[in-house]
Every structure is written in structure tokens, then in C-alpha cells.
Structure 1
Amino acid sequence: MINNYDKIANQYDFLSRLVFFKSQVNAQINQLKYIAENSSILIVGGGTGWILEEIAKIHASGLQIIYVEISEKMISLSQTRDFKNNKVEFINLGIEDFKTDQLFDVMLTPFLFDNFIEHRAEMVFELLHSRLKKTGLWFFVDFSLNAKNGRWWKSLILKSMYVFFKLIGIVETNKLTDMHPLFNKKSYLVVEQQFYYASFISATVYQK
């Protein structure tokens, strides 16, 4: 199954912190202040679920969260998290196979789109766009090669990551798709944008 991190689920957080320290974590945590109470939230590709505990520090109750993750082992790890009195529904599917009529106030897609080849990234974007409420917020966090400084070493790290993931048969792509033009095309507003790890990680709060 493509884009499935079952093989390294137990080691994933350690590996990401080994390379990026807490940059990937901070990029996601710093966006959570924009979550309003009693929000409906869709989290896609949330990994081991540590983000659920961070969300619970902002709102300990009242949130309705749907957690879509293709890795069964990641789902198992996520279900052990302390998300307080928030309601969390865990769905073990790829986002392409997730069907719902529900519209969400907030979406989180941390390091999701770097897994997809370009046309599938665009397909997933359109699917998620259709499920976000008007004026809803999309927390977009991913790698970025747009900054001029240090592009060579960022490209080298990214290429090394893709080689590693290809060797263990995880991801389908071998290059990063720039998703920001898709947000611009749909006239999303940038509420906030922050950069981490020498601008290698981009964290943008978009409003529909």
C-alpha cells in the first residue's frame, strides 16, 4: 500500500526529530491557537497522534475530530493519546478513499502532500477543498524549496529522504510538489505564514 508508514511507525517520531529536531513539531503546534472552541476538525496523515494531545491543551473538550490515517500502526499509536474530552473518530483509510458529506471548520494536513505524485496531490487537494467550510481554516505544513538561501542542501536532504522511503517501499513520488499555487488559484487568504529549519519547513494558515 503506497504512502503507508506502517514499516517505521514506531520509529517515525524519533527519526523526524533526529533530523529536524523539533522544527516539524513546532511548525504544527504554533498554528493551533487559531482553532476556535467547538470546531469540527479533519486531520489527514496525523502520524502517531501526538498532535491530538497538543490540541487538547488548547481545548480540552468540545472539539469533534475526524482522524484519517492510512497506516494501521499509526492509528493504533494515535488511539492511546490523551485527547481529553474531545470526540475523536479514527478512520484507517487513505484520504483518497475517505467519503463524507461533512464540512469542516479546520483541516490539518501535516507533511501530507510530499507523499504524492503531482496529479494525485492535485486530486487530494480538490477533495479536501470541497470539504472545508467557507471561511474555514487549512493548516498546511510541509517542506519547501522556495527560499533561495541553502537550496542546494535542502534539495540534497529531500532527495535523500525520498531515496530512503523508496528503498523501504513507502512513498510513491520522488519529488516535492509545490502546493501553494493551488491555494492561490482558489483565492485562499494567508492568515499566517512561518518558516522553520532555515526555511526548509513552511507552515501556512490558509483561510478559504
Structure 2
Amino acid sequence: MQEAFSQTKNASAVKNNYDRVAWFYDPLSRIVFRNAQIQAQQALIPYIPEHANILIAGGGTGGILEAIADQYPAGLRITYVEISEKMIRKAEKRFTGKNTVTFVHSAIEDYAAKSHFDVVITAFLFDNFTQEKADRIFQKLDKLLQPDGKWLFTDFHIDKKSSRSWKTWLLKSMYLFFKFFSEVEASQLPDTTSLFKKAGYHAIFTAFWYRKFIHSSIYQKP
């Protein structure tokens, strides 16, 4: 079962909106990263509890929905929040099994939740934000996650030893590209590791992909 509604007014005018790249985002991802972006997300799916209430923040074109349905064909309640209307249109066409999926056209910072969640999923979301905004988004999502809940986190990763590596140059090129097409606010990755640490989260799974340029972790809320 699927439902859809909007909480964002004039979403095309806001920043971090991928409407202009929605039609070629997935092919571009495969050209640059092969299947690493989706594999990094798929590795976290087995940790989702059965019958979980899930929030997907910034879900993009919805590939994660099909990956979830492959392992959990029924019994999940999923709220799918995405700022790009064109991305949501693509996501709505995905196979979701018999899971209940509610699509919300909204920036995550504007999303008015009606419940708390057992699982929060953020894949390549925080790289769009400045550190200040990342702090605010983290605090909001943290409040929406139940105690002992799981946060499935995937994003790009740059360590201090990579300051002059190909990863840094690729990341800079990506920011220039998406600033032009999607008005992405950030110019560098925010420090999300410290946010989880300060909030008392415990990493129960961590893996790296694409020569450690992509990082995925499962954080357990205290």
C-alpha cells in the first residue's frame, strides 16, 4: 500500500533539490561508483527488525525500497521523505512488496512527523549540509528515533590522510557539479561521527566501499 502527500511549498526553489538531475542520477552514480552506493546501503538492511516503523530521510529515486522489499516483502511501515518531486515520482514506481509506504514530498527539516520510528535511514543525505545545518538535522532525527532504535547511515568518507588524494578531488568536483544543478549548500563533508558520539550512539556495524570513499554504519541509540 502506498500513500503520498506534500509538506513542502515551492520545493523547486529550495536548496539541495535534485529535480534537475533526477532523470540521470542513477546512471551517473553507476558510471562513477559502479554499484558501490547501493551496495553500501544494502549491507545494512539485514539489521532492520521485523515489523519496524522506518523513516527514510532523503531517499532519492527509491532503489533502497526495492532492496528492502527483497528481504522484507511485508510487515514494514515506511515513511519516505524526499525534497525532490521528480525523485519521489521515480520512487513511487518501485516495487515495495506488501510493505506500507507513505511518500512525503518535503525537506527533512520541514517534515512534521506524526510518530516515532524504530529505524532511521539516511543515505548520502548529510553531505548536502553545512556543519551547522547537519547538527540541526541530526538533532531532529535523533528525537524521532526510539530508544534502542537503529540509525542506518551511509555517506561519503574522507580521512585526514586523504587530504591530497583522488578522493578529495573527486569530492570537490561533485560539490561543484551539484552546487550548479541542485544548489547544494555544503562545500565539504560535515563531521557526523562526532554527532553520533556526543549523542551516545554505539556503532554495531561499519563497512567501507569504493576504496574507503563510501562509509556505511549502523548506530544504536542508547
Shorter-chain TM-score range: over 0.9
**1:191 aligned residue (201, 204, 209):** 204
Q: 1:36 to 1:121 in 2, by over 3 A?
A: same
SS at match of 2:87: helix
Matches within 5 A, 1:34-113: 34-113=47-126
> What does the per-residue CA deviation read over 1:176-208, in whole Å, with 9 as the maximum and x for residues that have no partner?
112010000011011100000111111010000
Distance 1:85 1:91, change over 3 A: same
% same residue: 46
**CA apart distance, 1:133:** 0.5
Per-residue deviation at 1:58? Answer: 1.1
The alignment partner of 2:37 has SS state of helix
Q: Contact 1:114 / 1:143 at 8 angstroms: preserved in 2?
A: yes
The TM-score, its normalising length taken from structure 1, stands at 0.97
Q: For 2:30 and 2:213, how far apart are their aligned partners in 1? A: 14
2:180 aligned residue: 167
Helix, strand or coil: the match of 2:154?
A: strand
CA contact (8 A) 2:38 2:63 kept: no
Q: Secondary structure of the equivalent of 1:148?
A: helix
Partners of 2:181 and 2:69 in 1: CA distance: 34
In the alignment, is the contact (CA less than 8 A) between 1:62 and 1:85 conserved in 2? yes
State the Cα deviation string for residues 111-166 of structure 1 (Å, max 9, x = none): 00000111111100000000001000001100111263685211100000011112
Match of 1:19 in 2: 32
| SS of equivalent to 1:47 | coil
Amino acid at match of 2:67: E
Q: What residue is the counterpart of 1:115 in the other structure?
A: 128
| TM-score (structure 2 length as normaliser) | 0.91
- The aligned length equals 208
Residue 17 of structure 1, CA deviation: 1.0
Structure 1 runs of 4+ aligned residues shifted over 3 Å read none
- Between the aligned partners of 1:103 and 1:49, the Cα distance in structure 2 is 22
Structure 1: gaps spanning 5 or more residues = none
CA contact (8 A) 2:79 2:104 kept: yes
C-alpha distance in 1 between matches for 2:112 and 2:16: 19
Verify the 8 A CA contact 1:106 1:137 in the aligned structure 2.
yes
Q: CA deviation at 1:170?
A: 2.7
CA root-mean-square deviation: 1.2
